[in-house]
Copies of this chain bind each other. A is one copy, B any other.
């Protein structure tokens, strides 16, 4: 297997976009190409991550994006795994480069849904659940994560304030991210007093619906060295899966796919959770981040809420969790999110993250899942 690197990264603003899905993707791809200092014609393969192209009337995105980049002969495809699409597309790009099929691969994540409105977006997103048992029975994602939150609070004597503190911390980080969707400082009281969506989750426990695109250029180490620009190295890649419907899980306070993917990634990187300097984790709802930081091994089972309460996950504390602002503040354009996390890790490890820079960032981890964690990928990166 070849060593694999990320040699460029770019992103649009996350938020409500006026651009088409194609324009968003092409803009992010152009930024990534520019930052990598390669020519588009050096790209050999393109992986697009997207879930609801139908919402903007364009599926079969790879040829459209490649044509717009002036490289219509470059083959590609779209990868979908609900909200985990981005990291799973990255995983396939990693696999193709590691195996030697291609030397330089473009991975672009994109989503455009906000123009369809909240009701239509919620309906579309519910198709990512096990629809026969969940969405189709009227339980959309806030309800599913509320079940997890209630189970966690009950078992580990956590509080709704603990959940709120995840949101407060991520909004604090998002204030430092010029591309974040929701750049607004909030207090615990703001969260607790926001409208209940699915008890115990309130509006400010939930990430927004976002449009946006993120892109990275993945290359073999050989190409990266020869090319001569800045790059970071992928040192661990793991995949995991869980039963699709929440009702088939044995425990609502843990996500099996996260644990499986993390175990693989740590093993490959020959590292333990203690070695990770910062992580971008999947905080679609505040409860998710608490479960994530336990499943990823940063804190013991049941200690996640207390860790948040004690400030151990704040920027430049024990472990910086979601320095970008996370899905909660940076935003969650579902096909783009997993790639966007890697854009953040690229910038952090190259010391380009501006005001939200994690000090002495050397090793970063990305964690991104689909639905309630039915699919998941974890990657570990190192500065060189």
Counting CB contacts under 8 A, is A198 at the interface?
no
Q: Is the CB of A260 within 8 A of B73?
A: yes
Whether the Cβ atoms of A59 and B51 lie closer than 8 Å is yes
User: How many copies of this protein are present in the complex?
Assistant: 2
Q: Which residue of B lies closest to A59 (CB)?
A: B127
**How many Å lie between the Cα of A80 and that of B52 in the bound state?**
11
| A273 is an interface residue with CB less than 8 A from chain B | no
Tally of contact residues, A, Cβ under 8 A: 64
Contact residues, A366-380 vs B (CB, 8 A): 370-371, 374-376
Within 8 Å by CB of A77, from B60, B80, B135, B242, lies B80
- Assess the B60–A243 pair: CB atoms within 8 A: no
Q: When the two chains form their complex, are residues A64 and B240 in contact, meaning their CB atoms are under 8 A apart?
A: no
Judge whether A101 is part of the interface by a CB distance below 8 angstroms: yes
B131 touches A66 (CB 8 A): no
Known: A57-B127, A73-B241, A132-B20. Contact between A63 and B260, CB under 8 A? no
- Could you tell me if A72 and B20 are in contact, using CB atoms closer than 8 angstroms? no
Q: Does A166 belong to the interface (CB within 8 Å)?
A: no
Q: Take A77-B81, A81-B78 as given contacts and tell me if A241 and B63 are in contact as well, using a CB distance cutoff of 8 Å.
A: yes
Residues on A facing B (Cβ under 8 Å):
1, 20, 22, 45, 51-54, 57-60, 62-64, 66-67, 72-82, 85, 88, 92, 95-96, 98-101, 124, 126-132, 135-136, 239-245, 248, 256-257, 260-261, 370-371, 374-376
